[in-house]
C-alpha cells in the first residue's frame, strides 16, 4: 500500500486536466519575460466580482500567510490569539519580536469573548473561523462584539467554503476588519500559493501601499482567475469533501470532534499509530494528546476509518 497523506488539510482533488489546459493556452500566448501588471487589477476585480464586492475591497498575496505577515508587521504591538489555533500567528509575531497575548479557547472551543474584550491595549486581534485545528466556527455576535472594540482584527476564513458561514457584509460596518481567504483549500491550488483579503476600501488601500508591485506571479494569478470561472468544479469537490467529512465523523465520533472545515480534530494523539500503518496525519505539538485528520478521497478515508476503529476497539 502506498502511503496516504491526510496531514496538511489539502484538497484531495487535483485541478482537472481540462482546466489545466486553459492555463497552458494562456502560457502559449503570454510573454513570460515581462512582469505582471502592477497590482494585478484584473485578478482583484475578478475576485471582487465573484464575492459581490469591488476590486478596491480586495488585496491578494502569495498565499494568505504572506498577507498575515504583512498585517502583523504593520501593527507594531501586542497581538491577541486564541489557542489552540493556527501556529503561524505566533510564528510571525515572533519574527517581528511582538508579544502574543494568548486567551485559550473555552472547553467547547468557543472564544472567550469577555477576556478578549478586556485586552484594550492590544494592537491586533486574530480570530480563526472555522478554527484550525478545532474545526468550529465563531458566532457572528461574538465577532461583532470584538470588532466594536475598534482594534484591527483579522478573521482568518481559510476554510470558509467548507462551512458556508459568511462574514463579508461586516466590512461595510467595520473599517478595522480584514477577512483572509485562500485558493489553497477549496480551489485545489495549494501548490500555486494564492491568498486574498477582503476589507473596507480604506484599509485595503493602506495595506496595498505596503506591498511590492509584483507580489504574485503571472501563472498563479491567472490560474486563480480560471478557477473562479470553473467554480462549478470547485462546488462539486466541496460537496464530496463535506459528505465525506460527515461520513468519517459518524464512524469515528467516539474519537473525533465535529467540524465545519475539511479536517477532524481527534481526541488522541494517534500520529505514530497511523504512520506505522502508512497513513500520515497531523501531529499537534501544542495540544496534549490530540491529532488532526484531513478528509481525503473515499478510498483513503475508508483506510483511515478502519485503522481508527481498530484503535478504538483496542
Confidence (pLDDT) at 2: 87
β-sheet with 263-266: strand ranges across: 263-266, 291-294, 282-283
CA dihedral 21, 25, 30, 36 (to 10 degrees): -40
DSSP letter at 35? Answer: P
Confidence (pLDDT) at 28: 96
% of the chain beyond a pLDDT of 70? 100
Interatomic CA distance for residues 310 and 204, integer angstroms: 50
CATH number of 34-229: 3.40.640.10
Interatomic CA distance for residues 134 and 109, integer angstroms: 7
Interatomic CA distance for residues 224 and 230, integer angstroms: 10
Residue whose C-alpha cell is 455576535: 141
- Domain boundaries defined on the chain: 4-13+232-313, 34-229
Confidence (pLDDT) at 242: 98
HSE-CB at 9 with a 13 A cutoff on CA atoms is 25
Confidence (pLDDT) at 74: 87
Confidence (pLDDT) at 182: 98
257 in helix, strand or coil? coil
Give yes or no for residue 1 having a pLDDT over 90: no
Tell me the pLDDT band of 288, cut-offs 50, 70 and 90: confident
Residue 197, CA distances (Å) to 104, 150, 171, 236, 255 in order? 25, 19, 11, 24, 35
Interatomic CA distance for residues 172 and 57, integer angstroms: 10
Q: Is 212 exposed, middle or buried (0-12, 13-18, 19+ CB in 10 A)?
A: exposed
Confidence (pLDDT) at 76: 83
Phi-psi region of 81 (alpha: psi -120 to 50; beta: other; left: phi over 0): beta
Confidence (pLDDT) at 285: 81
CATH T-level topology, domain 4-13+232-313: 3.90.1150
Kindly state the average pLDDT of the residues 189-194: 97
Q: Which of 132-141, 171-180, 279-288 is predicted least confidently?
A: 279-288
Q: Which three cell numbers stand for residue 137?
A: 466556527
Query: pLDDT digits over 65-92, tens only?
Result: 999 999 998 888 899 999 999 999 999 9
286 in helix, strand or coil? coil
Confidence (pLDDT) at 283: 95
Q: Are strands 177-182 and 195-199 parallel, antiparallel or unpaired?
A: antiparallel
Say how many Å lie between the first and final Cα of the chain, rounded: 23
Sign of CA pseudo-dihedral 254, 112, 181, 212: negative
Q: Which one, of 233, 314, 169, 163, lies nearest residue 20 by Cα?
A: 233
Q: Which three cell numbers stand for residue 109?
A: 472551543
Query: pLDDT digits over 91-143, tens only?
Result: 999 988 898 999 999 999 999 999 999 999 999 999 999 999 999 999 999 99
Q: Which one, of 168, 207, 184, lies nearest residue 54 by Cα?
A: 168
Amino acid at each position: 500500500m502506498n502511503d496516504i497523506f491526510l496531514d496538511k488539510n489539502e484538497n484531495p482533488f487535483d485541478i482537472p486536466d481540462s482546466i489545466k489546459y486553459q492555463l497552458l493556452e494562456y502560457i502559449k500566448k503570454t510573454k513570460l519575460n515581462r512582469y505582471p501588471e502592477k497590482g494585478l487589477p484584473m485578478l482583484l476585480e475578478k475576485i471582487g466580482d465573484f464575492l459581490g464586492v469591488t476590486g478596491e475591497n480586495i488585496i491578494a498575496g502569495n498565499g494568505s500567510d504572506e498577507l498575515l505577515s504583512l498585517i502583523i508587521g504593520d501593527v507594531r504591538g501586542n497581538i491577541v490569539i486564541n489557542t489552540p489555533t493556527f501556529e503561524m500567528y505566533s510564528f510571525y509575531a515572533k519574527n517581528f519580536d511582538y508579544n502574543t497575548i494568548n486567551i485559550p479557547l473555552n472547553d467547547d472551543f468557543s472564544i472567550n469573548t469577555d477576556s478578549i474584550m478586556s485586552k484594550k491595549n492590544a494592537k491586533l486581534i486574530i480570530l480563526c473561523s472555522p478554527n484550525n485545528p478545532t474545526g468550529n466556527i465563531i458566532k457572528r455576535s461574538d465577532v461583532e462584539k470584538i470588532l466594536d472594540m475598534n482594534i484591527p482584527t483579522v478573521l482568518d476564513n481559510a476554510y470558509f467554503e467548507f462551512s458556508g458561514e459568511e462574514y463579508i457584509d461586516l466590512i461595510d460596518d467595520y473599517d478595522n476588519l480584514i477577512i483572509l481567504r485562500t485558493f489553497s483549500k477549496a480551489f485545489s491550488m495549494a501548490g500555486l500559493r494564492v491568498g486574498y483579503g477582503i476589507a473596507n476600501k480604506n484599509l485595503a488601500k493602506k495595506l496595498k501601499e505596503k506591498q511590492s508591485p509584483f507580489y504574485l506571479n503571472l501563472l498563479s494569478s491567472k490560474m486563480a482567475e480560471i478557477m473562479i470561472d470553473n467554480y462549478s468544479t470547485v462546488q462539486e469537490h466541496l460537496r464530496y469533501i463535506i459528505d465525506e467529512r460527515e461520513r468519517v465523523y459518524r464512524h469515528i465520533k467516539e474519537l473525533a470532534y465535529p467540524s465545519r472545515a475539511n479536517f477532524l480534530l481527534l481526541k488522541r494523539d494517534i500520529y505514530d499509530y497511523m504512520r506505522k500503518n502508512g497513513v500520515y496525519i497531523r501531529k499537534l505539538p501544542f495540544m496534549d494528546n490530540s491529532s488532526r485528520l484531513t478528509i481525503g478521497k473515499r478510498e483513503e478515508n475508508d483506510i483511515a476509518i478502519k485503522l481508527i476503529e481498530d484503535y478504538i476497539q483496542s
